[in-house]
Amino acid sequence: MNFFSHLLFMVLTGVFAWLWWKQHKRAELVQASRRHLIQERQRVLGFLHDVGEVFTENLKVEEILKMIIRCSVRTAEAKSGAIFLLDSTQRRLEAVVIEGPFPPPHSPPGFMESKLVSRTVFLEQTLKSQTIAMGEGILGGVAQTGKPLLIRQPSDDPRLPSYENEILRIQTFMAVPLIFRDQILGVLAMANTRTEKPFDDSDLSLVTSLA
């Protein structure tokens, strides 16, 4: 084999190896995508099953909302979540139900932070005592525009409250509008994940479709 024949052989071998590697990676991506779709389907089916149980029982509105936020938090693998509804004036949002240690939209005085962490009831009372104007911050903005929002870098976003305590510190955040018959009723928000990974576009898309 002369030099050029050997060079051609090496080039063809390299091209073949590259094509095999590319095909192998493509197959891995297809399998990963398939697994992801199966997981998403399971999450949605689990949510629909939970919601189905809600409507088979004679529950009050607040109890239904509690079930919805609980199902949504579990589906998105979030650590906490809350549903904020517009008041009778349609100008302000009020926290109605909370699941987990959801960080209050407005930072209370520093000396109260330890109370918020140690007392679930006190945290819930603090959240329900705060109201958010239409267009104010992330929650008010989502209620006003009707568009979901995903925050990947909370530390760089001044619209989110800052907490020193690890339990309340926001590491990832998303908020979606609650819409019924083209009317915005409020906002469903979630903070942090149980997997320690940030929310991504698939989480936002999933929760948006559920809301």
Most confident of 5-9, 15-19, 174-178: 174-178
Neighbours of 7 (CB within 10 A): 11
Give CA–CA dist 197/161, Å, rounded: 20
Q: Which residues contact 211 (CB under 8 A, 6 or more apart)?
A: 72, 176, 177, 178, 179, 188
C-beta separation of 73 from 100 below 8 A: yes
Give CA–CA dist 80/190, Å, rounded: 6
Q: What is the pLDDT of residue 83?
A: 94
**Taking all residues of the chain, what is their mean pLDDT, rounded to a whole number?**
77
What's the pLDDT tens digit per position in 20-38?
555 655 656 556 655 655 5
What's the pLDDT tens digit per position in 51-73?
555 555 556 777 778 888 888 88
Give CA–CA dist 22/28, Å, rounded: 10
Output DSSP code: residue 191: E
**Which percentage of the chain shows pLDDT scores above 70?**
65
What's the pLDDT tens digit per position in 86-104?
988 889 999 999 999 999 9
What's the pLDDT tens digit per position in 114-123?
666 566 777 8
- Select from 82, 104, 72, 88 the least CA-distant residue to 170: 104
Mapped onto helix, strand or coil, the DSSP state of residue 77 is coil
Mapped onto helix, strand or coil, the DSSP state of residue 141 is helix
Confidence band for 8, pLDDT divided at 50, 70 and 90: very low
